[in-house]
Amino acid sequence: MTMWVFGYGSLLWNPGFDPAESHLAQLPGFHRSFCMRSVHHRGSQENPGLVLALDRAEAVCHGLALSVRSGQEDQVLAALRERELVSSAYVETQQVVSLRDGRQVQAVTYIIDPDHVQYCGGLPLEEQAHIIAHAVGGRGPNTEYLFNTAAHLHELGIQDHELDWLTARVREILA
């Protein structure tokens, strides 16, 4: 059985593996948002950044379903866990996602734990913009994460008005 991974943030532009297939996909019941404080990859304990997470909502998240090449499942899953579960703010789940071609597949999907200390759902967009503009972590500036994700969503034809607003506002703050 093919292993699938659902990407909605950095997995869109840096999955960490070479997928056998990549398809536009939809995940109902979740909203992509900057609702997780990043104290490792895009911020620090002293100056946390923000990263995207899937927050439960009456919405549909548009992203990519990435299939893992046969024989690489254990290696890919281990790398994803090392990356995504660094602080236990994400929960590894299996979710049914709908591919653009009509297929439905089970995909490894990382969602936010709303009870985790790093959860910060509901922050005003202006506050998010100021945090993202100034935070830097082990994987680089928080701005790079925002700009790369927004650019790849555009390339895929996925509209995300919040990310568009944040991108424009962060550029204003930095100007």
In the chain, the domains with their CATH numbers are 4-174 (3.10.490.10)
For residue 70, report the phi and psi dihedrals to the nearest 5 degrees: -55, 135
Query: 48: how many CB neighbours lie within 10 A of its CB?
Result: 20
pLDDT of residue 136: 95
CA 136 to chain centre: 17
Q: Which two tokens stand for residue 45?
A: 């304990």
Q: CA-based angle 56:61:97, to the nearest 5?
A: 95
Residues serving a catalytic function are 84
Q: Which two tokens stand for residue 85?
A: 């579960």
Q: pTM above 0.95?
A: no
SS (H, E, C) 3-59: CEEEECCHHHCCCCCCCCEEEEEEEEEEEEEEEEEECCCCCCCCCCEEEEEEEEEEE
pLDDT string in tens for the chain (175-residue length): 899 999 999 999 999 999 999 999 999 999 999 999 999 889 999 999 999 999 999 999 999 999 999 999 999 999 999 988 878 889 999 999 999 999 999 999 999 999 999 999 999 999 999 999 999 999 899 999 999 999 999 999 999 999 999 999 999 999 9
Q: Which amino acid is at 90?
A: Y
